[in-house]
Amino acid sequence: MNDQALGFVNQLIEKTEQGKLSWSTGFEDGQYKTLLPDGKLAFVVQVNGSTNHFMMLDDKQEVILLESIDIDELNCGIARGKRVALYNAIDQLNKLARTQALHVNEKLADAEKMLAAI
C-alpha cells in the first residue's frame, strides 16, 4: 500500500467537509471525481460491491496512484491497520462525494416540501 494514499483520502475528506472541493459523477456507476483548482490533478473514489477504489490522475488522465481494497482482504486478516484505515476512509469519502455529486441534501429537502404540500 502506498502510505500517501491514506493521507490524500483524509485531506480530501477534510476539504470536502469544508466545502472547498466539488465532486461530480464519474464514468462508471458509483464513481465520483474531483479536480484540483489548477486542473493538474484529479481524484476518483468508487465503492464497487465489496471493493473500495481510490485513484489520483494527472492532467493527461494517467493514473499516478491507485489503491483497491476488498472487504474479503480485510476479513481474512491479510490487511493490517493502515489498510483497514484506508478502506474506511475511502468509504467515508465516497459517501461525502456521492452526497455532493448527486445533490442528495437538496433533493431530500425538496421531497420534504413536496410531501408537506400534499
> pLDDT digits over 6-20, tens only?
999 999 999 999 999
Domain coordinates in residue numbering, the chain? 3-117
Looking at residue 78, what is its pLDDT?
59
Instruction: Name, in order, each residue with C-beta under 8 angstroms of 70's C-beta and a sequence gap of 6 or more.
Output: 50, 51
For 1-118, where are the alpha helices, taking DSSP H only? 3-17, 71-75, 81-101, 104-117
Please compute the mean of the pLDDT values over residues 104-115 and round it to a whole number: 90
Report percent pLDDT > 70 for the chain.
Answer: 96
Q: Look-up: residue for cell 483497491?
A: 68
Looking at residue 63, what is its pLDDT?
95
pLDDT band for 22, please (50, 70, 90 cuts): very high
Q: What is the pTM of this model?
A: 0.85
